[in-house]
């Protein structure tokens, strides 16, 4: 299904070439940054990641989400990977990040790279490459990832708590948060499509189902039949159960997310919010109507764009020896 629905890899790469031509040298990033210092870097990332994804396809979603959460706080600098210390609570321990998983995968990739090319490949570049390859391995598009990022030394939990886009956010807040990072309204609609994979915890939709306005009611923007189905899985007070973001294909990267949102079956309030703005609503309906005719190309372009947010390059930051701690 994914092969038929998404643009062929070759076509996508050609389409992205125009975008990358203008970005290749921007911010110090470039395609093939490690071609001399570590020519097998991207191959090592791919091969190491495959050992994990081949055993557990559900890892793709949190690894993609990890890159997203990294870039939205202090830019794409690997700060989400740093562990807390006695004197500092890091982003990793902020409430929105406590459900992230796959840090062991990043550590395994870093270890493999350090054996081959010690002190060369940054953790922030690993995150960007892993996100791309994880999507590709479950049927999604390929895009070229400019590299050359360096790792930050600061990670603060409260920055993640207050600045990451929330599953409870309305369209106004979402547009403001994306705009603050240099991303467009279209990027918001496109990157939301990443919810075609992964799961959500019942605690995140409890209010939508049982107490939306504080009067024991259900969110009226949610399809009543879907709400009834969710209530069977998510009983009041249930904090352990998870539900699929894209029921039926949550392990495959495809455009079904937009059909679900168009039917008012988006799991989070932030998904439903895409129907509250003319531009995002038009994008949702277009992808739903055309079976995602441009989604693969659009997703690759928006991921490349996101990967430039606040990058450290040149002599800024550092190349961590271990991704969880500063040097």
Is 246 annotated for ligand binding?
yes
Residue 61 CB burial class (10 angstroms; 0-12, 13-18, ≥19): buried
Is 75 annotated for ligand binding?
yes
Which residues face 63 on adjacent strands?
none
Residues near 266 by beta carbon (within 8 Å), at least 6 away in sequence: 195, 260, 272, 274
Is 254 annotated for ligand binding?
yes
**E-state strands within the chain:** 199-201, 242-244
What are φ and ψ of residue 147, in 5° steps? -125, 175
Secondary structure letter of residue 244 according to DSSP: E
Distance CA 7, CA 293 (A): 8
Is 91 annotated for ligand binding?
yes
Q: Cα 299 from chain centroid?
A: 11
Is 77 annotated for ligand binding?
yes
142 has catalytic annotation:
no
Distance CA 246, CA 260 (A): 7
What three-state secondary structure class fits 234? coil
Two tokens at 155?
Answer: 């990670």
Is 307 annotated for ligand binding?
no
What three-state secondary structure class fits 33? coil
Two tokens at 274?
Answer: 């895409």
Is 48 annotated for ligand binding?
no
Which residue of the set 46, 67, 69, 142 is catalytic?
69
Query: How many Å is the Cα radius of gyration of the chain?
Result: 19
Residue 287 CB-half CA count within 13 A: 32
Indicate the angle between helix axes 41-53 and 123-137, nearest 10 degrees.
Answer: 50
Closest C-alpha among 128, 106, 287, 109 to residue 195 = 287
Secondary structure letter of residue 93 according to DSSP: G
Largest interatomic CA distance in the chain? 63
Is 70 annotated for ligand binding?
yes
Two tokens at 17?
Answer: 């070439």
- Report the binding-site residues: 70, 75, 77, 79, 91, 165, 195-196, 246, 254
Q: Which residues are catalytic?
A: 69
| Residue list, annotated binding site for substrate | 165
For the annotated binding site for Ca(2+), the residues are: 70, 75, 77, 79, 91, 196, 246, 254
Name the binding residues for heme b: 195
């Amino acid at each position: 299904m994914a092969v038929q629905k998404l643009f062929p890899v070759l076509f996508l790469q050609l389409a992205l070439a125009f975008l990358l031509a203008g970005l290749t040298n921007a911010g110090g990033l470039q395609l093939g940054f490690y071609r001399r210092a570590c020519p097998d870097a991207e191959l090592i990332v791919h091969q190491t990641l495959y050992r994990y994804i081949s055993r557990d396809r559900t890892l793709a979603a949190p690894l993609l989400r990890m890159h997203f959460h990294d870039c939205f706080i202090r830019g794409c600098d690997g700060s989400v990977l740093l562990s807390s210390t006695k004197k500092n609570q890091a982003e990793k321990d902020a409430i929105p990040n406590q459900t992230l998983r796959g840090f062991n995968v990043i550590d395994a990739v870093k270890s493999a790279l350090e054996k081959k090319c010690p002190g060369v490949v940054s953790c922030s570049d690993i995150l960007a490459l892993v996100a791309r390859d994880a999507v590709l391995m479950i049927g999604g598009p390929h895009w070229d990832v400019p590299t050359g990022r360096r790792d930050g030394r600061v990670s603060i939990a409260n920055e993640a708590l207050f600045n990451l886009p929330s599953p409870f956010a309305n369209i106004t807040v979402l547009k403001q948060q994306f705009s603050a990072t240099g991303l467009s309204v279209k990027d918001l609609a496109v990157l939301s499509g990443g919810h075609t994979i992964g799961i959500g915890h019942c605690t995140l939709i409890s209010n939508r189902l049982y107490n939306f306005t504080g009067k024991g009611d259900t969110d009226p923007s949610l399809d009543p039949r879907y709400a009834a189905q969710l209530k069977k899985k998510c009983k009041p007070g249930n904090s352990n159960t998870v539900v699929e973001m894209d029921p039926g294909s949550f392990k495959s990267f495809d455009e079904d997310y937009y059909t679900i949102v168009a039917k008012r079956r988006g799991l989070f309030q932030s998904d439903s919010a895409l129907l509250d703005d003319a531009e995002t609503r038009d994008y949702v309906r277009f992808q739903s109507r055309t079976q995602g005719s441009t989604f693969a190309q659009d997703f690759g372009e928006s991921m490349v764009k996101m990967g430039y947010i606040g990058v450290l390059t040149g002599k800024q930051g550092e190349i961590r020896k271990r991704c969880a701690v500063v040097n």
